[in-house]
Amino acid sequence: MPSFDPEVFEERRLGLGVDPRTKLPKLLPEFERENVVLMPTDTIYGLSCRWDSRDARDRIQKMKGQQRLAFFVNLVSDTQMALRYAEEPGPECLELLDTTWPGPVTAVFRLRESVVPDFIGSPEGTVAFRFPNTPFLQELVRGVGVPLISTSANLSGEAPCESAEEAWSIFGEEVDLYVDGGPVAALPSTLIDVTGPKPRLLRVGIQALRGLDIVDAPDPVE
């Protein structure tokens, strides 16, 4: 585990400040260089890279632990970006997305094989997208031009990091840039499957979906 050296950490730290969008000119080149970035989302701190970089994606996989499933959530700038890479779901699933996006809800789609990188989809031919509810993240993804992988900043089986400093104590210089948005403590996103005629609940996270027509709801996450 890396020791916390304030000077070394500061060299790789980018504070978001009052208006995070002013940091986009510093952030966008990191993704152009196919680097790995830690940054806060509207749920938890996540490890991110552009989804079409196999090398960066493999680095994240190795950092989290090889026992971690290799298929990550991908952030999109809007619903239209998700549907550029995924088959359009049925009317009831689209209605659910209209109700919950943007927000802390991850949707599992049937992927379009011709446009999704072959190392991104699951063996079942699905891909997971989330449309985050912050203008900063929306503009960041739009500026990169492709979805961004986002997976919780933790070792496999451990609790997600709640600060950039905590993440540094685990990953150290394995992460190219630490985007510091202050302490973050939250549940992960709610996970739904929109590959069938009705949306199916796979995991209850930070956003409850009460009153919506969803099947196979598990017990809530405590």
CATH value at residue 137: 3.90.870.10
- Residue 221: inside a domain, yes or no? no
pLDDT at 180: 96
CB 138 within 8 A of CB 130: no
- Residue 79: inside a domain, yes or no? yes
CB 168 within 8 A of CB 62: no
- Residue 187: inside a domain, yes or no? yes
- Residue 42: inside a domain, yes or no? yes
Output the six-digit token pair for 201: 């609940």
Q: For the chain, how many structural domains are there in total?
A: 1
Q: How, if at all, do strands 177-180 and 37-40 pair?
A: parallel
Output the six-digit token pair for 192: 């739904």
Distance CA 166, CA 36 (A): 16
- Residue 131: inside a domain, yes or no? yes
61-100: b (≥16 Cβ within 10 Å) or e: bebbeeebeebbbbbbbebebbbebbeebeeebeebbeeb
Q: What is the pLDDT along the chain (222 residues), one digit of tens a residue?
A: 565 677 889 999 999 988 999 999 999 999 999 999 999 998 899 999 999 999 999 999 999 986 656 679 999 999 999 999 999 999 999 999 999 999 999 999 999 988 999 999 999 999 999 999 999 999 999 999 999 999 999 998 899 999 999 999 999 999 999 999 999 877 788 999 999 999 999 988 765 555 455 655 544 433
CB 200 within 8 A of CB 215: yes
- Residue 211: inside a domain, yes or no? no
pLDDT at 214: 61
pLDDT at 65: 86
- Residue 155: inside a domain, yes or no? yes
- Residue 34: inside a domain, yes or no? yes
The per-residue DSSP string of 74-131 comes to EE-SSHHHHHHHB----HHHHHHHHHH-SSSEEEEEEB-TTTS-TTTS-TTSEEEEE-
Domain that holds residue 23: 6-203
